């Protein structure tokens, strides 16, 4: 940003009216400077200030919202190049391609999977975001009919893929109230697509064959008053596609190059015919900056894999992921099973639960809320200690399910075993387990195999 | 409209490190730009792919993985040979899982015997990897380093607790050490400083940042690798200017999701494709962060990852 928070503050009303959602004009100015707020959130800013600030206060990459209600999702709004600098903002949207010349059974199967494939993980629901309906036939009626069907059967976002404006209009007619993304305006059809997007106030994708032509095209769109833009630089081989993604992100963030300050859309299925390779290309582009990734199909094996990657890439690197505090049952434990204790840092939980599963030994895993700290860090911070752990185990009531309750502590905190024993009382046997997750299977097999 | 592509001025480079000996030896590293940012720097050596061989028949591999190898998994030498001759691995990574004191605790003799047999079966570069117990690995890797003194092995994991013993053995027999630290840029740097102080040469170190698999901590590895690469290339952090060795197959294939059964229509999809994709996507993500040497388990995942590298490096 050219202007500092203080410089921006000078141009604001300084009334601290709070209507923008933050307590003071200064705080709002700081948010503007950091690209975390938009000027239009201030209802009282003067025209003169608006003009002066407009060029400077918008985030370097525009945030575009697609879809409505539960199916709405945002893309773009990114502020950094690397996730260790600051959390990536809006997870890439994952879309499933649906052609209007696909056999009915294929359409039905795809829509079914789109609706049903969803995964619970670390308290989040992971699922795909949109259906991309493509006018493969170039026939208005066929396109409109499929869009109508998709709208009726799904809640997700819709991407309308047609380059003929008349065909596109048919799709828009069928689902405009669902706020679809129109893909795409090209240098050849831009005028008609702009008219359509302006009339309906829908987000519009711009597609050109290189970054120069794309910049000219978005310039034209913006001049005509289309603001919600998604861009496709047209690269259809992986090296160029990756480089274009990098150039677009760096130009918009480092150079404030407005013409490319928009989320991108990538189509890996146009880079290869092999669905496996398509997934691998998608994963590379997901790591490096794609805003929307359109896949030829959603299957559990490709969708789940990419959702996990997206989760990993877009988590906040500063804040540890946490798992819910509770006693988990692994491998169908019974009255004779041990209780292993660990922290609720999600990585710790995943590793420990994974190792227990590998051991195939029926086990209870007691996960203590340590505010996302790992076992040793939590111990050092006074959170993984005798009374906290003992109190949680007692409250959980797990002892009632066990014949001779045995609690296994992580080896790294053997030092707390006396305190835990004291807290739990004589009904429990407290033992010290291995220091590393990798040794858990061998430990369980040796000591608790049935 | 003119678009001027911004480019960085890099101030450092990754050291080229040669693995193995003879006709099949190869060099990794040498980058002067971020991974695949070939519009602003060089990537003279493409990332390399190896397959993992265990000293004992695997007990916890799912059928979808075992099926890719068949009966050879009972014989490490035959297995290694298949990895190279049929499956096209650039190198073989032999894991001495059986030496684990918390498990079978097989003696040093066993390790040396298996390592020699595998070395005799293949002429590509060979990694010999311990069980992860620092004390046992010190003993085992020292003996292997001596027994295979003519091979310029990669040996690891070399950790803070055993770097003196293993580092000295590597130094004595001219092997490459894989310096392994738990997902932390400062610890990675510190271990390389220690190895340097010990006398291990700059042309004989690889960094193992420790890999978290997809959905199991990959994000931590990813950012530590990006930060290592940034420090090496833009802040002239000389102790981080080494290629990165990523032992990823084991991390992916121990997760429950890689092993669960299922057909193409089930919630997690086709089991024969899911694990492969989880491994290939983990590899792709690590490649984006700077992986130079990748140890994989499924040959099909290796093929896909290699195809990606081919596209990115030469397309």
Q: Which residues of A touch B274 (CB under 8 A)?
A: 300-301, 304-305
Q: What is the CATH number of the domain that holds A407?
A: 3.40.50.11600
Restricting to B residues 120-179, those with a Cβ less than 8 Å away from any Cβ of A are 132
- Report the range of poorest mean pLDDT among A69-78, A441-450, B156-165: A441-450
Put simply, whether B315 touches A (Cβ < 8 Å) is yes
Residues in a beta bridge with B294: B49, B246
When pLDDT is cut at 50, 70 and 90, the band that residue A4 belongs to is confident
pLDDT in tens, B214-253: 998 899 999 999 999 999 999 999 999 999 999 999 999 9
Tell me which of A141-155, A347-361, B296-310 is least confident. Answer: A347-361
**A319 inside domain:** no
Single out the residue of A443, A357, A358, A363 nearest to residue A402, CA to CA.
Answer: A363
- For the entire predicted model, the pTM comes to 0.88
**A199 found inside a domain:** yes
Which CATH number belongs to the domain containing residue A154 in this structure?
3.20.20.20
Name every residue whose Cβ is closer than 8 Å to that of residue B118 and which is 6 or more positions away in sequence.
Answer: B53, B76, B77, B80, B92, B94, B126
Q: Which chain B residue lies closest to A280 (C-alpha atoms)?
A: B281
What is the predicted pLDDT for the residue at A56? 66
Asked if residue A134 and residue A153 are part of one domain, the reply reads yes
Q: Is the residue at B5 inside a domain?
A: no
| Higher pLDDT, residue B151 or A37 | B151
Which chain B residue has the Cα nearest residue A318? B220
Average pLDDT, integer, range B298-308: 98
Residues near A66 by Cβ (< 8 Å), separated by ≥ 6?
Answer: A72, A73, A74, A75, A93, A129, A130, A157, A158, A159, A179, A180, A181, A203
Nearest to B270 among A119, A246, A299 (CB): A299
- Alpha-carbon gap, residue B287 to A277, rounded angstroms: 15
- What is residue A41's predicted lDDT score, i.e. its pLDDT? 86
What's the pLDDT tens digit per position in A108-143? 999 999 999 999 887 789 999 999 999 999 999 999
Supply the pLDDT for residue A294: 98
Same-domain pairing of A375 and A275:
no
Are A320 and A375 spatial neighbours (Cβ–Cβ below 8 Å)? no
* Pair (A180, A204) in one structural domain: yes
Q: Quick check: A212 and B1 CB within 8 A?
A: yes
Task: Give me the percent of chain B exceeding a pLDDT of 90.
Answer: 94
Same domain, A277 and A138: yes
CATH number of the domain encompassing residue A18: 1.10.15.40
Query: What does the pLDDT average to over B73-98?
Result: 98
Write down the pLDDT at residue A375.
Answer: 93
A288 and A433 housed in the same domain? no
Q: Helix or strand or coil: residue A105?
A: helix
> CB of B250 within 8 Å of any CB in chain A?
no
Could you give the number of structural domains in chain A? Answer: 3
Structure tokens at A14: 């300084």
Residues of A in contact with B217 (CB under 8 A): 347, 350-351
- Cβ contacts of residue B17 below 8 Å, gap of 6+? B27, B28, B29, B176, B203, B204, B205, B206, B242, B243
If you average pLDDT over residues A425-447, what whole number do you get? Answer: 91
Are A163 and A186 spatial neighbours (Cβ–Cβ below 8 Å)?
Answer: yes
Contact predicate A309/A295, CB 8 Å: no
Which pLDDT score, from 0 to 100, does residue A55 have? 65
Burial class (CB in 10 A: 0-12, 13-18, 19+), A110: buried
Asked which of A196-210, A265-279, A433-447, B144-158 is least confident by mean pLDDT, the reply is: A433-447
Supply the pLDDT for residue B293. 98
Question: In this predicted model, what pLDDT tens digit does every residue of A298-328 receive, in sequence order?
Answer: 999 999 999 999 999 998 877 767 888 999 9
By C-alpha distance, the chain A residue nearest B282 is A309
One domain, residues A97 and A68: yes
The chain-wide mean pLDDT, for chain A, equals: 93
Mutate to test the interface with B, among A312, A316, A352, A441 (most CBs of B within 10 A): A312
Give the DSSP H or E segment for B119: helix B108-121
**Which single residue is written with the structure tokens 């592509």?**
B5
- Candidates A266, A295, A300, A303, partner chain B, best to mutate (most B CBs within 10 A): A300
Domains in chain B: how many in total? 1
CB pairs under 8 A between A and B: 180
Is the predicted pLDDT of residue B75 greater than 50, yes or no? yes
User: Who among A240, A301, A351 is closest to B277 (CB)?
Assistant: A301
Of A228, A235, A238, the C-alpha closest to A263 is A228
- Burial label for A65, CB within 10 Å (0-12, 13-18, 19+), is middle
Interval A235-292: pLDDT, tens: 999 999 999 999 999 999 999 999 999 999 999 999 999 999 999 999 999 999 999 9
Are the C-beta atoms of B3 and A257 separated by less than 8 Å? yes
**Record: contact B212-A260, CB cut-off 8 A:** no
B256 interfaces chain A, CB cutoff of 8 Å: yes
Looking up tokens 């799709």 gives A171
Distance CA A30, CA A77 (A): 17
B36 falls within a domain: yes
Contacts of B220 in chain A (CB under 8 A): 347
The CATH number for B168's domain is 3.20.20.20
Residues A166 and A33 in one domain: no
> Taking CB atoms and an 8 Å cutoff, what residues of chain B touch A436?
132
Q: Give per-residue pLDDT as tens, A5-59.
A: 888 888 889 999 998 889 999 999 888 877 778 888 888 888 888 877 776 667 8
Q: Is the pLDDT of residue A1 over 50?
A: no
Would you give the DSSP letter of residue A257?
-
Nearest CA-CA distance, residue B130 and chain A, Å: 13
Q: What is the pLDDT of residue B315?
A: 62
Q: Does residue A336 form part of some domain? A: yes
Domain that residue B124 falls in: 17-314
Helices (H) and strands (E) in chain A, counts: 16, 17
Q: Which two tokens stand for residue A290?
A: 């794609």
> Are both A34 and A108 inside the same structural domain?
no
| Phi-psi region at B174: left, alpha or beta (left = phi > 0; alpha = psi -120 to 50) | left
Contact A368, A325 (CB under 8 A): yes
B219 vs A315: CB contact, 8 Å cut-off?
Answer: yes
Residues A150 and A270 occupy one common structural domain: yes
- In a domain, residue A320? The reply is no
Would you call A313 and B219 a contact, using CB atoms and an 8 Å cutoff? yes
Same-domain pairing of A391 and A373: yes
* Whether residue A369 sits in one domain with residue A228: no
For range A418-423, the mean pLDDT:
94
**Kind of pairing between the strands at B126-129 and B91-95:** parallel
In this prediction, residues B86-115 reach a mean pLDDT of: 96
**Listed residue (B266, B282, B243) closest to B28, CA to CA:** B243
Q: ipTM for the complex?
A: 0.98
- Both A79 and A220 in one domain: the answer is yes
Residue A47 confidence (pLDDT): 84
Q: What is the mean pLDDT of residues B198-213?
A: 96
Residue recorded with tokens 């975390």: A36
Does the beta carbon of B274 lie under 8 angstroms from any beta carbon of chain A?
yes
Q: Where are the beta strands (DSSP E) in chain B?
A: 17-19, 26-28, 48-54, 91-95, 126-129, 154-158, 176-180, 205-208, 244-247, 291-296
Nearest-Cα distance to chain B for A244, in Å, is 10
Q: Please give the residue range of the domain that contains residue A341.
A: 326-448
Chain A residues whose beta carbon lies within 8 Å of the beta carbon of residue B311: 237-239, 281
């Amino acid at each position: 940003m050219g202007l500092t928070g203080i410089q921006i503050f000078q141009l604001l009303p300084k009334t601290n009216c709070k209507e923008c959602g933050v307590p003071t004009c200064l705080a709002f100015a700081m948010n503007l400077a950091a690209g975390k707020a938009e000027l239009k959130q201030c209802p009282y800013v003067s025209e003169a200030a608006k003009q002066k600030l407009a060029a400077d206060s918008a985030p370097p990459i525009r945030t575009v919202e697609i879809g409505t209600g539960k199916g709405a999702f945002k893309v773009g709004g990114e502020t950094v190049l690397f996730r260790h600098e600051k959390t990536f903002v809006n997870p890439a949207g994952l879309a499933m391609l649906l052609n209007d010349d696909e056999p009915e059974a294929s359409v039905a199967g795809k829509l079914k999977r789109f609706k049903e494939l969803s995964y619970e993980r670390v308290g989040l629901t992971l699922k795909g975001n949109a259906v991309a309906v493509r006018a493969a036939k170039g026939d208005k009626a066929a396109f409109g009919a499929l869009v109508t069907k998709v709208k009726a059967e799904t809640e997700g976002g819709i991407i309308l893929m047609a380059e003929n404006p008349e065909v596109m209009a048919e799709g828009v007619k069928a689902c405009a109230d669902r706020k679809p993304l129109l893909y795409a305006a090209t240098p050849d059809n831009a005028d008609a697509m702009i008219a359509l997007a302006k009339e309906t106030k829908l987000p519009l994708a711009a597609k050109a064959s290189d970054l120069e032509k794309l910049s000219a095209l978005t310039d034209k769109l913006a001049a005509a008053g289309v603001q919600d833009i998604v861009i496709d630089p047209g690269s259809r081989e992986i090296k160029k596609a990756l480089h274009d993604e990098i150039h677009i992100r760096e130009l918009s963030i480092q150079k404030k190059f407005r013409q490319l300050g928009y989320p991108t859309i990538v189509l890996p299925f146009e880079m290869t015919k092999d669905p496996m390779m398509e997934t691998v290309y998608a994963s590379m582009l997901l790591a490096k900056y794609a805003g929307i990734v359109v896949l030829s199909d959603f299957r559990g094996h490709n969708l789940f894999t990419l959702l996990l990657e997206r989760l990993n890439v877009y988590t906040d690197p500063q804040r540890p992921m946490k798992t819910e505090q509770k006693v988990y049952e692994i491998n169908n434990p019974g009255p004779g099973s041990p209780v292993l204790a660990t922290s609720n840092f999600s990585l710790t939980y995943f590793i420990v639960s994974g190792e227990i599963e590998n051991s195939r030994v029926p086990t209870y895993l007691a996960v203590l809320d340590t505010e996302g700290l790992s076992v040793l860090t939590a111990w050092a911070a006074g959170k993984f200690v005798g009374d906290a752990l003992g109190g949680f185990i007692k409250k959980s009531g797990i002892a009632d399910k066990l014949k001779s309750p045995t609690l296994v502590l992580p080896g790294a905190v053997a030092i707390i075993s006396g305190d835990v024993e004291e807290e739990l009382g004589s009904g429990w046997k407290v033992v010290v387990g291995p220091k590393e997750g990798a040794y858990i299977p061998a430990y369980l097999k040796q000591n608790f195999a049935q | 409209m003119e678009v001027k592509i911004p480019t960085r001025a890099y101030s450092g480079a990754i050291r080229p490190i040669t693995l193995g000996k003879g006709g099949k030896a190869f060099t990794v590293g040498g980058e002067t730009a971020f991974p695949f940012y070939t519009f602003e720097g060089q990537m003279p050596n493409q990332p390399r792919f190896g397959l993992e061989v265990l000293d004992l028949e695997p007990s916890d591999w799912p059928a979808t993985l075992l099926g890719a190898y068949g009966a050879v998994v009972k014989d490490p030498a035959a297995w290694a040979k298949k990895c190279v001759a049929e499956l096209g691995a650039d190198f073989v990574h032999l894991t001495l899982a059986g030496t684990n004191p918390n498990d079978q605790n097989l003696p040093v003799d066993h390790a040396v015997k298996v390592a020699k047999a595998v070395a005799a079966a293949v002429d590509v570069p060979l990694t010999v990897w311990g069980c992860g117990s620092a004390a046992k690995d010190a003993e085992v890797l020292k003996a292997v380093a001596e027994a295979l003194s003519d091979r310029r092995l990669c040996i690891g994991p070399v950790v803070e607790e055993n770097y003196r013993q293993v580092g000295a053995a590597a130094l004595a027999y001219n092997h490459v050490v894989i310096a392994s630290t738990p997902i932390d840029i400062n610890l990675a740097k510190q271990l390389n400083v220690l190895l340097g102080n010990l006398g291990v040469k700059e042309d004989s170190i690889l960094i193992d940042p420790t890999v978290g698999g997809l959905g199991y901590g990959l994000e931590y590895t990813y950012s530590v690798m990006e930060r290592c690469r940034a420090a090496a290339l833009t802040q002239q952090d000389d102790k981080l200017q080494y290629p990165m060795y990523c032992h990823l197959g084991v991390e992916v294939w121990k997760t429950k999701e890689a092993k669960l059964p299922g057909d193409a229509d089930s919630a997690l999809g086709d089991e024969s494709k899911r694990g492969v994709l989880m491994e290939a996507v983990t590899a792709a993500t690590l490649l984006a962060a700077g992986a130079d040497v990748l140890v994989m388990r499924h040959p099909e995942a290796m093929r896909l990852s290699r195809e990606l590298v081919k596209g990115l490096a030469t397309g």
